[in-house]
Structure 1
Amino acid sequence: MQQPTVSYTGHPHLLAVLDDAPRHAPPCNECGRPCDSPPVFRCARCDFNLHLLCGPLPTTIELDEFPGDPFSLADSFAEDDSGEYYCDFCEDKRDPRECVYHSGDYYFVHFKCAMSEVLRSLKGERGDVDLRTLGKLIPGRVVSKGLNSQTTAQWEKQITESTLTLKDIYDSLTENELMEFKNLSIPSADISSDYATSFPYSGDAFKQLLDRLDAVTLPWEELIKLYNLDTKVVDVGEHQITWDFANIMDTLLRKHKDLIAESRLSPKVKTFMFVLLCDVVYSMSRTKIEDVTEQMLMDWWGRLKVVQRANFRMQLVRDQLTIVVSAYFGLAANKFNERATADLDEQIDKLSKELEQVRENREQHQKLVESASTIIEKCLDDASALSYKTVGADLL
């Protein structure tokens, strides 16, 4: 049986990549269609299954046919507007709407043509490999042979055997620890903005958005409701986290070893801060920029403010969220401008048609006047003769 090698944020256990589809063709846990065509991702313990294209794929690969050129995964790619796109491996046409591996704007390879290298990467033959899903961009990674396999096995064992939940940790907090936790919440406050703008996406409007984010509060009563206290807890190194965020926390601690270097919180309260931080990272990793809403930004920003109050070194996350805020504002402004321009164009078109009708009416009127010009001229002569006297002057 294929050794599980894929750590995937969407599932607590490692996934194996099977060259043969399960006989009972179970439904894909992502799209719902039967997993009847190999290769597939599978967790036999949970009967969790994913089509290859529904699961996490290598973000980059290298192909022997193109030495020195790393290829990156793209959900879709049209390098120009020619309407004809080709695979540089098989030289057949490719659909620009389908995922592809590409090296810059020069080399493009069908996913099917890169399949053998993709599978070697997923099975751990290329060591550590960063992964992501198509569309939702859910992260993952390949656990190469010997790397963290013991840790992952411990997580699985804890999930199966442990009864420790987040509620158990919460209930065991001392009075000082509970106060420490509560002090991280952000009380409600009245914040006013002095900016006034007639255009909803001006520089002042952007400052207002930042003000609203900075003014986000997260009182204790709302903060504690964010946690699913019934979730089981596992150990990740010297720390504890809910099982669903173990992979994310492990990745964060590996990439940012000084994440909690300045935090003086008790280990139990740190667990709650880890859950909050990983929840934000998980949510952001599943959200495309076009799906971001202001409410999402408020939620993410408020939770990160709490974690920041815990003295976690998370500037990278804040910086990334700041970029997301800017991108959200830009896209929203662009949508507003497009919609407003379209509305104005529609009004112009409507008024142009009305103006054209008025012009036609005027031309028709002129034709009627011309057709009656003889009688009108005679009548005007009579009017001229009466200009300097009363209409009855000739009667006396």
Structure 2
Amino acid sequence: MTDEQGRKQLQHFTDEHPLELVEEVEIEVSPPVKCLACGEYCLGPCYRCVSRCGIFLHQPCAEFKYPDKISNCHAHSCSLALRTRPNYFICNDCGKCIRGICYHCEPCGVFIDVECALLTSLESEDKKQIKHFSHPHPFRVEDLSEIDQVYCSACRKYCDGPTYVCRKCEISRHILCAQYSPKIDDPLHLSHPLYLHESATQVGSRCYLCCNPCDGFSYRCKVCNFNLHVDKCVGKASAVKYEGHEHLLLLVENIGIEVNCNACGMSCGNGIPIEKKKSYGSWILRCPPCNFCLHIQCGPLPYTIKDKCHLDSLTLVESPVEDESDDEFYCDACEIERDPRLPIYCCGPCGRFVAEISCVIPEVIRWLTGEYGDVELSMPDGRIAGKVVKKNLPQVMREIEDAQLIKYKPELNDDSLTLKSIWEYVSKTRQNDEAEASKKDSDQSGLLILHHILNRLSEDESKELRNVLATEETEISSDAQNSSRGSFFLDEKYIAFEKKLDSLPGDTRDFWNKEEEMVNVMEYSVPRSLVPILESLFDKHGDVSVDTNLSPGVKIFLFVILCGTLSSMYDTRVLDISEDLLMNWWNYLKALKSAGFKIQFAIDHLKRVARAYFGLQLQAQVSNTLSQLQRDIPKYSEEVEELTKKLEHLRSELKRLESEDSGRKSSLIEECLSDASKLRWRKAGEGLKLKPALVLENL
């Protein structure tokens, strides 16, 4: 209906008088008024009471047909009735003091404001519109198609079919997208619940799992600034418990930031060079708190899989396999050259079929996402190094969080007391400020790291450690220096190379992290990442330090050096070894052997590696020299050919001139030659027969 001036009017349940529709410029009320339905300021077209009763409603809020009763409200278990007369009340859900309409449970004395009561998507009485908690205006159902070029504001995809639309704001929602729960609990964030938000409220925020921008709907914890995409990340997390890291590693595809793999150092996800995309793929394992990342190929994997590319089961192994010695390596699944640095899946029964991981990645991902259960994962050498965590992910996440809380309590826990007892033999600690501060930090955190151990060594122990690690630099003889000349294939070349290894490297390296947590293994302790090396060392060779008379503190640090060196050797391919790296390995192992460690097996293996390194360098030198010769020979051949042509031309000219000089000449030329012979020493005016001028003294 309309009034005499043609204004639209509405008889609303909030007032006995009609409400008239007015524009924003007509509302001259100070302070600004709020809508009695949604509680927001009336800054646009709205309805007001014609009798100036103080009733104001947004146009969409006034025209929305509110259900008389709500029986499924999240905030109250009883049925709620619509209270149509505006009053002041405190919402029992959000705690705000509001003046307006509300839903009421009279027996319980509960008041819920309209926004909280309609927090879930509810249809209005006319079934043609809904009130959604994420938007202040009602949505109407319209039938759209991709031709309309309308995007869903939640998922950013085209709307096709029945769609919720707010024409006032030009906002659309898929019906499925409007059904997201307003509040959830997720195992990735157990501290607080997550609430549904639109991207407009969190510009610049990124998803905790995939690190891509939160565009559209996402679940968010405002307290922690924690976000998850609603469509692809909520409830989709798969995790791996990896021995090399204290937290769970989450499986991520197409990560939205540039990160590097902690194993190989190469870029992960979108940062991978195009030429490496096929080999490394888009999947990684990542610990968000530590930003610790691993390529799928660099982390633990299912040891045996069954894939459609081959009839038999495939087993995870290092590449290349034992009988491969070519310079080119191919994947039998795609028949394309593969990277020999990456592990492969090889046919167990026949041993001839090889598939790179990128060709069986769909099957590998099925294992890592827990489709086959919480299975154990291995490294290419067969060592168990992790486990899939899917079924009990919330419980495991909670256990890890609790363990972290215990670890960093001010009081020491049992584990740290055991670690601390290692150092009860120390009768005297250093009295400087650094050692005292380090000890204080260790006691407060309950966490023992290698840095603390070094600072707690007594003066005698420090001297003992320095003596063990002291390396006398070998002077390189002139014969060794001159060995670079002559044939590439003389034994003297390798002898000189081996002598050079005994000299100090230009860049001394530590193969361990002084700030990493120390873990007990038998009566020793090493950084957590080196535990597998020490355990396998004991299993295969026993206590290699048993015959030494070293003090316990020094012995522990030497075991850290040994395990760090062996770990570095294990992680480095021979073709990636540098001379400095090899010299570091050589000097560490030589020092440990001199200290009495029974590591001849490691020395012998390193000698073989050194020979292989020398062979690769020799091959590279020969190859480079051959390449240079192959470039130089054509170049100098062309120069020789040009000089030869020039020489022939000069000889021809010489012969021609000699022939002409000795041959018969014309009378004119003969006369010229005769006069030249007769007159060369005479004066030019001598034939004129005149008296010459006198030479006078200068005045």
Q: TM-score, normalised by structure 2?
A: 0.41
- What is aligned with 2:379? 130
Q: How does 1:101-250 map to 2 (within 5 A)?
A: 101-103=345-347, 106-109=352-355, 111-115=357-361, 118-119=364-365, 127=376, 129-131=378-380, 141-143=384-386, 161-188=445-472, 191=475, 193=477, 197=483, 198-199=485-486, 201=488, 202-216=490-504, 231-250=516-535
Are residues 1:350 and 2:593 paired? no
Moved segments of 4+, more than 6 Å: 78-85, 123-126, 225-228, 369-374
Letter matched to residue 467 of structure 2: N
- What is aligned with 1:384? none
CA contact (8 A) 1:121 1:129 kept: no
Q: Which is higher, the Rg of structure 1 or of structure 2?
A: 2
- Which structure is higher in RCO with an 8 Å CA cutoff and minimum separation 6? 1
Q: Of the candidates 222, 242, 250, which is equivalent to residue 6 of structure 1?
A: 242
- What is aligned with 1:385? none
CA distances 1:358-393 after superposition (whole Å, capped 9, x unpaired): 33224434665787797467359xxxxxxxxxx9xx
CA distance 1:63–1:379, shift in 2 (3 Å): farther
CA distances 1:223-257 after superposition (whole Å, capped 9, x unpaired): 9x998655543323431123453444344334443
| Aligned-residue offset at 1:305 | 1.8
Letter matched to residue 130 of structure 1: M
> Whose strand fraction is larger, Structure 1's or Structure 2's?
2
CA distances 1:157-199 after superposition (whole Å, capped 9, x unpaired): 5975533333432343345534432331325356454656333
- What is aligned with 2:603? 318
CA distance 1:15–1:256, shift in 2 (3 Å): farther
Letter matched to residue 52 of structure 1: I
Q: How does 1:1-396 map to 2 (within 5 A)?
A: 2=238, 4-8=240-244, 12-13=245-246, 15-16=248-249, 18=251, 25=256, 27-30=258-261, 31=267, 33=269, 40-43=284-287, 46-53=290-297, 55-58=298-301, 61=304, 63=306, 65-67=310-312, 70=315, 72=317, 74=319, 87=333, 93-97=334-338, 101-103=345-347, 106-109=352-355, 111-115=357-361, 118-119=364-365, 127=376, 129-131=378-380, 141-143=384-386, 161-188=445-472, 191=475, 193=477, 197=483, 198-199=485-486, 201=488, 202-216=490-504, 231-365=516-650, 368=653, 375=660, 378=663
| Aligned-residue offset at 1:82 | 12
CA contact (8 A) 1:7 1:13 kept: yes
SS at structure 1 position matched to 2:544: coil
CA contact (8 A) 1:15 1:41 kept: no
> Whose helix fraction is larger, Structure 1's or Structure 2's?
1
Letter matched to residue 306 of structure 2: L
CA distance 1:269–1:240, shift in 2 (3 Å): same
Letter matched to residue 355 of structure 2: V
Q: TM-score, normalised by structure 1?
A: 0.67
- Percent identical: 23
In the alignment of these two chains, the number of paired residues is 352
CA contact (8 A) 2:240 2:248 kept: yes
Letter matched to residue 304 of structure 1: L
CA RMSD in angstroms, aligned pairs only: 4.8
| Aligned-residue offset at 1:85 | 6.9
Moved more, 360-369 or 371-380: 371-380
CA contact (8 A) 2:473 2:502 kept: no
CA distance 1:71–1:186, shift in 2 (3 Å): closer
CA distances 1:283-325 after superposition (whole Å, capped 9, x unpaired): 3334332332222222111111222233323233323321221
- What is aligned with 2:51? none
Letter matched to residue 210 of structure 1: E
SS at structure 2 position matched to 1:163: coil
| C-alpha distance in structure 2 between counterparts of 1:61 and 1:372, whole Å | 89
SS at structure 1 position matched to 2:469: coil
| C-alpha distance in structure 2 between counterparts of 1:258 and 1:101, whole Å | 34
CA contact (8 A) 1:125 1:144 kept: yes
CA distances 1:130-171 after superposition (whole Å, capped 9, x unpaired): 248xxxxxx9852359xxx9xxx8xx7597553333343234
| Aligned-residue offset at 1:273 | 0.6
